[in-house]
Amino acid sequence: MKDYPQFISPEISGLPNEGKITCTAPSNIALVKYWGKKPVQLPENASISFTLDTCKTITSLSYKKRNIASKDFDFDLLFEGKPKSDFKPKIQSFFERIEEYLPFLKQYTFTIETSNTFPHSSGIASSASGMSALAYCLMQLEKKINQDISDAELLKKTSFLARLGSGSACRSLEGPITVWGSHPDIEGSSDAFAIKFPHTIHHNFKNYQDTILLIDKGEKQVSSTVGHDLMHGHPFAQERFKQAADNLTTLKDVLISGDLDTFIEVVESEALTLHAMMMTSLPYFILMKPNTLSVINKVWEYRKKTGSKLCFTLDAGANVHLLYPDSEKEEVLDFITSELVAYCQNGQYICDKIGLGAELL
């Protein structure tokens, strides 16, 4: 962990006594997926994602200075107003990883209050939005202690810290498109933190829509952490990492040129490859459900019939993200309500679009 001395805080003094900081951070959906990681929380391949807008976590961090520093981290956690003990080990582990970069943590008693604008366990990356919101709150506290930190440095360090809580969380701090992982064609890219896509994005992608079909809201039978680990020794791992790198190069050009047909090809191929990696690991597993496949086939039929630029992507779960240009919003929503809602659990879906990242409230 000592590899990143630029993120270690200067000597701390003049700690504020108490206060409360509230931030929001959105989820994100990867277009080129990362699947497989190295210690600690470093990606085997670079990924690129749309930052979402309405699917987000709101986190308040109340802090009170202790008279004597604690031997361990001192925090309470409330999720949607109620104590949530099963989240605490994840926060404990996060604090252990980031302590050398935020050496004031044991000087405070914290109360973390967090809630989501989307259903928990709905297959939307709540660890991404949750960890990025918490990291952003902690960095706002660091800004009170170390006022010399610039806005750009603050964002970079927040992304670095968020990654140590949940890999994809580092992609939720800026928008509308972010890249995480070192890639020769993306200037400034790094395994340690995400960066905003460093080129002008074609107007075809302005206000790009993401409607999330909630196919299955149950807990996944294999967690993403376990899934990532199964890429070690996977027979197709190295080819997969090469494919992801090539797809990111292609997608970079697409986002600049506005070529929606190639966008569809890359994004859908990436989604299916992600699940192919799960189905060919040992032990093998399947996170798609029958209704996931039904929706995919319906999308293909609709596109063939109408010439639409609607496409799908998947995360590590059964739910389907439908991506489409803002200009097609009415027609696609008609298609969803008439033909796809039947495949959603309790008819539930969430309308979102690409957004701009974390905010201090």
Output the pLDDT for position 86: 86
Output the pLDDT for position 217: 80
* Rounded distance between C-alpha atoms, residue 272 and residue 252, angstroms: 20
Output the pLDDT for position 340: 98
* Three-class DSSP category at 44: coil
Cβ-based neighbour number of residue 152 at 10 Å: 8
Ranges in the chain, pLDDT < 70: 1-2, 120-123, 125
Output the pLDDT for position 18: 97
Output the pLDDT for position 220: 81
* Rounded distance between C-alpha atoms, residue 94 and residue 98, angstroms: 6
Output the pLDDT for position 309: 98
pLDDT in tens, 108-145: 999 999 999 987 655 576 889 999 999 999 999 999 99
Output the pLDDT for position 13: 78
Output the pLDDT for position 102: 96
Neighbour-count burial for 58-74, b at 16+ CB within 10 Å, e otherwise: bbbbbbeeeeeeeeebb
Output the pLDDT for position 353: 98
Instruction: For residue 89, count CB atoms less than 10 angstroms from its CB and return exposed for 0-12, middle for 13-18, buried for 19 or more.
Output: exposed
**Single pTM value for the model:** 0.96
